């Protein structure tokens, strides 16, 4: 019997980490998990209720998410969730394949024992999270695994570049994991990759990492292409002018 789906809780915990960072992360996860859909308008009131924080913190978080390309501010409408097309996703995956492949190779060749232990711990938590009914817990575990991987790669430029792409990568990661069977396949691919990392075989680890990203890309992009095209919306002013003209013509 399948466990009931657990609704994610996006309220921000009052912890020592910078609160603005926590608010940004909460909204980012909410978008990635489909709590807000592509093209949906984000109101400050709704975000304050969701996170349990002030409007000031929400506004700061929205500015950060706009810089990441996860939301866009539309004139006369305000902030809206960016709609990521299949073509844009293909571009992100092309870059991600190269970067994460390099990260795995560098980790295999240079990671310290402490960093290897941290990655194994993150991988164990990732496997446990797959039994969790909370999709937010699963996505957090997957992201933490990659954070440990990048940390062990020891290349600041690589880490900075991946962090710039992180919002869109996370959105696509959540998309691919929603596909039936993808979670199991993903875990098997990562297990093979972990073996290569333990063997300190950089070239093999890179090849397996690239294969993992390409398989995730096929799944996510297929889902994006299957989504119906959004219906065009008329600007309010244009719609009002059309209505007025119609009334005049009927006289």
What CATH number matches the domain at 19-83, 1.10.150.300, 1.20.1090.10, 3.40.50.10420, 1.10.10.10?
A: 1.10.10.10
Considering only 25-29, 125-129, 137-141, 222-226, which range has the smallest mean pLDDT?
Answer: 222-226
CA quadruple 113, 117, 118, 119: dihedral sign? positive
Helix (H, G, I), strand (E, B), or coil: what is residue 19? helix
Q: Binning pLDDT at 50, 70 and 90, where does residue 177 land?
A: low
pLDDT at 234 over 70: no
Residue 1 has a pLDDT of 42
Which CATH fold topology does 86-226 show? 1.20.120
pLDDT in tens, 100-150: 999 999 999 999 999 999 999 999 999 998 877 788 888 889 899 999 999
Distance CA 36, CA 181 (A): 24
- Among candidates 55, 60, 54, which has minimal Cα distance to 24? 60
Question: 243's torsion region: left (phi>0), alpha (psi -120 to 50) or beta?
Answer: alpha
pLDDT at 242 over 60: no
> Which residue, chain included where needed, has tokens 């993992």?
212
Helix (H, G, I), strand (E, B), or coil: what is residue 154? coil
pTM of the predicted structure, to 2 decimals: 0.76
pLDDT at 39 over 80: yes
Domains of the chain by residue range? 19-83, 86-226
- Residues 172, 89 contacting (CB under 8 angstroms): yes
- Residues 190, 126 contacting (CB under 8 angstroms): yes
Residue 236 has a pLDDT of 47
> Is 84 or 108 the better-scoring residue by pLDDT?
108
pLDDT in tens, 187-221: 999 999 999 999 999 999 999 999 999 998 888 88
Q: Binning pLDDT at 50, 70 and 90, where does residue 46 land?
A: very high
Phi, psi of 213 (to 5 degrees): -70, -40
Residue 168 has a pLDDT of 84
Q: Binning pLDDT at 50, 70 and 90, where does residue 32 land?
A: confident
* The two structure tokens encoding residue 129: 């999270």
Give the Cβ contact number of residue 4 at 10 Å.
7
pLDDT at 180 over 90: no
């Amino acid at each position: 019997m399948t466990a009931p789906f657990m609704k994610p809780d996006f309220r921000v915990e009052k912890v020592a980490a910078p609160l603005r960072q926590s608010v940004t992360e909460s909204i980012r996860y909410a978008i990635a998990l489909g709590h807000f859909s592509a093209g949906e308008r984000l109101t400050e009131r709704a975000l304050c209720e969701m996170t349990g924080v002030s409007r000031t913190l929400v506004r700061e978080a929205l500015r950060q998410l706009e810089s990441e390309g996860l939301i866009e501010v539309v004139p006369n409408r305000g902030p809206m969730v960016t709609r990521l097309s299949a073509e844009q996703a293909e571009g992100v995956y092309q870059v991600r394949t190269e970067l994460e492949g390099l990260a795995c190779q560098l980790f295999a060749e240079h990671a310290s024992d402490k960093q290897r232990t941290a990655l194994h711990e993150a991988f164990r938590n990732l496997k446990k999270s797959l039994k969790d009914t909370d999709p937010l817990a699963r996505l957090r575990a997957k992201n933490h695994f990659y954070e440990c991987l990048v940390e062990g790669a020891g290349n600041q430029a690589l880490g900075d570049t991946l962090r710039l792409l992180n919002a869109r990568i996370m959105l696509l990661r959540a998309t691919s994991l929603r596909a039936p069977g993808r979670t199991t396949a993903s875990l098997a691919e990562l297990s093979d990759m972990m073996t290569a990392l333990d063997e300190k075989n950089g070239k093999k680890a890179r090849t397996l990492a690239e294969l993992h990203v390409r398989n995730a890309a096929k799944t996510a992009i297929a889902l994006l292409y299957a989504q119906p095209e959004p219906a065009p919306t008329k600007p309010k002013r244009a719609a009002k002018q059309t209505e007025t003209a119609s009334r005049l013509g009927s006289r």
